Structure 1
């Protein structure tokens, strides 16, 4: 769909039923909360239920293993207006990530195709789909993607599968290509979660903290701002498009580390900064052009990154407590 044809107002903006896949994950739990806060009925789907609430209903299902018919029956029974794909775990091999991402999306799309009322699918992609770019590049949605890591390649394959389903099978879907995320409850595999664990361990043991920080600048966004964009995308007529979701800024990774150390109140005299060069797996530079999302979703990031990092530590401290 040409961008000029995309207009807001599916369902007149009236809250309906949102089904969130991966509802117990870092992004999914925030998406559930964002829909619920706006009056939507929320049904969560994940492999297993966790302690925190995921909406007013929940179904335990391994989407990568489920029959497409079973997935479609669930959407039909719930009369889903919006389906959000925030699912897909991390794996140690390309085969594992293909299973948890691409196989899941293939079954999801096959299950969606025969659903009578055609719910909107909001698929959450990744900035890493673009691959490494030269320093200073503003990454636009029409840039040719050149991913290099197994994770980035499989994420691009899922986004392409969604867009092909729009063209070939008339599925109503949009891809949100999200920047690196901060904020409460980051995935355990993320850089920030790993750093939080190291800080917490050093605090508990009274030891020193050694830090080697990549000389990289990246576009980071709070996960709650991503969730707000998902809600907007569920209601706007933007089917068939890719929209970048970020802050539109390249922030030094050193700044995020400093804010996290600050949030933890870690004693500066117990930190050893090493000069060893650290190469970022996601590239040394990311900065998304978010103009399309601003125009078509009437959306903008609202949470500052320092507040986001502090909120991440506070949520972690509450959970640990």
Structure 2
């Protein structure tokens, strides 16, 4: 039985990853992420076969975001080093930074992060890649039926519910951004697929993009969410130029056979 440690197991992505491995018959251990935690001694006492770092925090004080991500990454690297096992780190497509044209970034694209979250994600991804058995999965915007208040779409929903007004404090640039989102279950499936290859030492790269096949604006997704919750319509400023956060998944699909099951057109992420 494979012993798996999931750091950030209480978050949207981490909980789905943990459930995916549990259903597959693996022994899954969880470690919640924290801005102040230190790695419990019990972690070193377990002979793990695989470490997954799914910790993340988008909103809040930049210093807190940095501490949480840095602490979780340090914990993940320490645990993987102690067990001499593969480490899979879930990064973000925002590490590539927004583009002014609709180009699809592959894994060789230059990193140009701008937000505090993206900057820290890029830094922690680089730390993981220095670990000999480290693998980074850069994920697109994550969609789910259970929309977390910590997510961008959850923030838009919660602000609308609190204000009962057609405007939000989410930056207009974020709403106009064109992205190719991935369903959380498809991301968890990608993590499991890459883990299988990593455990068999069959990976040929240490960075993979994971996103859905279709692109849309964040404002369009947010409008669907607000309609689902019977909230006021979303007003998106048409004068704000579009930015693009589009990532190619050719490497992941061609090398591992992974394919997404969900799409934004089907609407099943809101069912």
Q: Structure 1 length normalisation: TM-score?
A: 0.72
State how 1:26-37 maps to structure 2 within 5 Å. Answer: 26-37=12-23
Deviations for 1:173-219, whole angstroms, at most 9, x for unmatched residues? 211000011103333232210232245558xxxx6x41576333111
Q: Paired residue for 1:65? A: 37
Give, in angstroms, the shift of residue 138 of structure 1.
1.0
State how 1:14-53 maps to structure 2 within 5 Å. Answer: 16-46=2-32
Does 2:97 match 1:126?
no
CA contact (8 A) 1:63 1:107 kept: no
Does 2:220 match 1:252?
no
Q: Give the distance between the partners of 1:251 and 1:162, measured in 2 at CA.
A: 31
Q: Paired residue for 1:144? A: 110
Q: Paired residue for 1:263? A: 228
Q: Paired residue for 2:139? A: 178
Does 2:50 match 1:82?
yes
Distance 1:104 1:114, change over 3 A: same
Listed as ranges, the gaps of 5+ residues in structure 1 are 1-14, 48-61, 167-171, 312-321
Deviations for 1:281-319, whole angstroms, at most 9, x for unmatched residues? xx82111110111122221111122535414xxxxxxxx
CA contact (8 A) 1:217 1:252 kept: yes
Q: Structure 2 length normalisation: TM-score?
A: 0.84
Deviations for 1:253-291, whole angstroms, at most 9, x for unmatched residues? 343134324433x38xx6474647568xxx821111101
Q: Give the distance between the partners of 1:278 and 1:92, measured in 2 at CA.
A: 25
Q: Give the distance between the partners of 2:59 and 2:222, measured in 1 at CA.
A: 25
Q: Paired residue for 1:59? A: none
Q: Give the distance between the partners of 1:308 and 1:19, measured in 2 at CA.
A: 30
CA contact (8 A) 1:259 1:309 kept: no
Query: Secondary structure, in 3 states, of the residue corresponding to 1:24?
Result: coil
Give, in angstroms, the shift of residue 144 of structure 1.
1.2
Deviations for 1:82-136, whole angstroms, at most 9, x for unmatched residues? 2110113346343222211123313431342232xx2221100000100122321
Query: Secondary structure, in 3 states, of the residue corresponding to 1:210?
Result: coil
Q: Give the distance between the partners of 1:32 and 1:86, measured in 2 at CA.
A: 10
Distance 1:139 1:308, change over 3 A: farther
Does 2:179 match 1:218?
yes
Listed as ranges, the gaps of 5+ residues in structure 2 are none
Q: Computing the radius of gyration over CA atoms, which structure comes out larger, 1 or 2?
A: 1
CA contact (8 A) 2:13 2:54 kept: yes
Query: Secondary structure, in 3 states, of the residue corresponding to 2:192?
Result: helix
Q: Number of aligned pairs?
A: 261
